[in-house]
Amino acid sequence: MTRLTPDLIECVPEGKLALDDTLMKYTGHTMKSMALHAAGLPEDTDLSGITASVVPITSGMGIIGGFSQSVDAILRRLGIRSHVTEGTDVLGFSKAMDSGDDLVFMADDSMFVAYNVRERKYITNFYGTALGYATALDLASGGIKGKEALVIGAGFVGSRAARILRDMGADVIIADKICDKGKSVAAELGVRYSCDVEGTLSKNKNVLNAAPAIFPGRLIAEGAVISSPGVPHYYDEEGRRKASCIIHDPLEIGVATMATCSVAFFHHKEDASR
C-alpha cells in the first residue's frame, strides 16, 4: 500500500484538481454523482443530513500533513456535515462518539475506514477506491459489460477491482509483476490472468491500473481508457496522447465512494464487501 505524502494531497482541500471537469468530460458525472451511482444510490441523493467525524491517527508513521483536512474537505464537497475531531486517536474517537455523528473516518498505516456508527459496519478505502475506479472505467468505456478489462496489480485495490469488474460483466484479466499473486487472485475470482504485464497492457483498451508503477507511453494502446488509482501516478507525453482518457486523483474518488457506500448501509442492509 503506497503511503500518501503531503505534497500529493496539498491541493485537495481547495478542489483545484479540476477532477469534476475531467470526470464530467469522460463519465458524464461529477465526483459526487459518480460516487452515489457507484453505491447504488439515486444520483440526486441529499447528503446534508449526514454527519461525519474525521479522527487524526498518530500511530506508526504518524499524521500525514493535510490528510484529515483533505478527507474532511471531500466529505463537505458531498454535502456531508463533517469536521476533524480536536483530539487524535482514542480521544478523537471518543469525541466522535459523543458528537453522535453518523460516520467516523480514520486511517492508520495499514487501514483507512469509514465506520457507520448506527449500522455498526465499515467500508475500507481499498473497497471504496476499487469501486470508485471500476465505476469510472465502466462509465468512461461506455459500459464495460461484455468487454475485456485489464486490471494491473493484484493487491488490496486491484483484487477488489477485479471482482467488481467481473460482477459488472467484464471479461477480466488480472496481471501482476509477481506472477503467482495474479494467478492466485485470478483463480479465486474465476477470471483470466497474465504474467506479462507490459504485453497485456499494450493489447488492452480498458485498463484499471492499481499498481504503484509507471508505464511508458509505448505500452499504452491507442485510444485506451485508463482508470488509474495507483500512486505514484505518471504517464509520459506519448501515453497521454495515445490514451483516450486517464482518470486519477490521490484521494477523492476513494473517499467519496467510501462515504456513499457507508450511507447506503442506511438504505439497504446487506453488507457491501470490503
Write out the residues near ligand 2YC by the rule CB under 6 A: 1-4, 56-57, 63-64, 67-68, 107-109, 112, 125, 251
Alpha-carbon gap, residue 187 to 193, rounded angstroms: 8
Between 132 and 239, CB nearer to ligand 2YC: 132
Interhelix angle for 179-189 vs 156-167, to 10°?
30
Minimum CB–partner distance for residue 259 and ligand 2YC (Å): 14
Minimum CB–partner distance for residue 85 and ligand 2YC (Å): 11
Between 64 and 165, CB nearer to ligand 2YC: 64
Between 144 and 256, CB nearer to ligand 2YC: 256
Q: Which three cell numbers stand for residue 1?
A: 500500500
| Biggest CA pair distance of the chain | 55
Q: Residue 8, Cβ neighbours under 10 Å: how many?
A: 19
* H or E stretch covering 256: helix 252-267
Closest CA to 197 of 216, 174, 218, 180: 174
Closest CA to 136 of 252, 247, 45, 272: 247
Minimum CB–partner distance for residue 27 and ligand 2YC (Å): 22
Instruction: Give exposure, 93-117, as e/b (b: 16+ Cβ within 10 Å).
Output: bebbeeeebbbbbbbeeeebbbbbb
Minimum CB–partner distance for residue 54 and ligand 2YC (Å): 8
Between 89 and 198, CB nearer to ligand 2YC: 89
Between 26 and 112, CB nearer to ligand 2YC: 112
Between 67 and 265, CB nearer to ligand 2YC: 67
- Range list of H helices, 168-217: 179-189, 197-203
Minimum CB–partner distance for residue 231 and ligand 2YC (Å): 7
Kindly report the backbone phi and psi dihedral angles of residue 193, in degrees, each rounded to the nearest multiple of 5, phi listed first: -140, 160
Minimum CB–partner distance for residue 124 and ligand 2YC (Å): 9
Minimum CB–partner distance for residue 3 and ligand 2YC (Å): 4
In this structure, are residues 72 and 83 in contact, taking their beta carbons and an 8 Å threshold? yes
Between 69 and 244, CB nearer to ligand 2YC: 69
